[in-house]
A and B are shown apart, each in its own frame.
Chain A
């Protein structure tokens, strides 16, 4: 005989947990990445060259630096959401799943910060000449 209600017994044992939020973030970041990446490819194609001088000069304009920063944020937000879904599907043991999900988040934050700081340095003129 247990005092636990039927609802209490099943609560938290489903697979969904925070799934809906994750799903929406994946979709919105996908749309943002799609739009920003199209801008990125077209912009690169329109540059006269892709050498250091041209690219760093281009990123001093706020009209290039702002979408580039957004592209970095959207891309890294999207890719860690996606990689975590793959890990959740194929890593079955709780401990290793938590470990790999954390590693993916750390790696995405590290690489994303590196990329974002680089864009800001070029935009604000702190990059090497």
Chain B
């Protein structure tokens, strides 16, 4: 595409005052890109491993255990903390990304029908998607960990 360098450029991210609506929009992209690569990769691997048989499934499960912290109790060394901390950060990050993307996606549906553009309403729903995503992530992991202990 030909661009005339003499024409002024639209100012970008750095000049705007940050607000929840701007943050939620950026989060929607970032979480979407993360889910589309890492999330979809794990999902595909799970299905392929299930179709290939118990051995392939076992090796997938070992990776999934790392992401969900299974086995941490047996390895409370300094290396264990680093290894499982990193794994859990990816695991928790992916579930949070899913909830954030789903909730801000629902917010997009509402805005697509032309609703929720009033400044206060828009800000409130932007904040609520972020609060909701954190609560749902915490709830999911609470349920997972409680299920493991019980």
Contact = CB atoms under 8 A, between A and B. Distances in A.
Does A pair with B? yes
Interface of A: 27, 30-31, 34, 37, 51-53, 55-56, 59, 68, 72, 75-76, 79-80, 82-83, 86, 92, 94, 111-112, 114-115, 117-119, 121-122, 126-129
Contacts of A122: 47, 50-51
Contacts of B41: 111
Contact of A34 (B33, B51, B102): B102
Contacts of A51: 57, 61
Contact of B48 (A27, A83, A115): A115
Interface stretch (B85-93, B104-112, B115-123): B104-112
B50 A83 contact: no
A94 B1 contact: yes
A117 B48 CA distance: 8
A127 B98 CA distance: 29
28 contacts: A27-B112, A30-B105, A37-B98, A51-B57, A51-B61, A52-B53, A52-B57, A52-B58, A55-B57, A79-B35, A80-B36, A94-B1, A114-B47, A114-B48, A115-B43, A115-B48, A118-B50, A118-B51, A119-B47, A119-B51, A121-B51, A122-B47, A122-B50, A126-B51, A127-B52, A128-B51, A128-B53, A129-B53
B29 interface: yes
A127 B53 contact: yes
Nearest to A55: B50
Contacts of B57: 51-52, 55
B52 A128 contact: yes
A111 B40 contact: yes
Interface residues of B, number: 27
Contacts of B98: 37
Contact of A76 (B40, B53, B54, B102): B40
B36 A82 contact: yes
A75 B43 contact: yes
Contact of B109 (A27, A55, A115): A27
A75 B53 contact: no
B44 A115 contact: yes
A72 B47 contact: yes
B51 A117 contact: yes
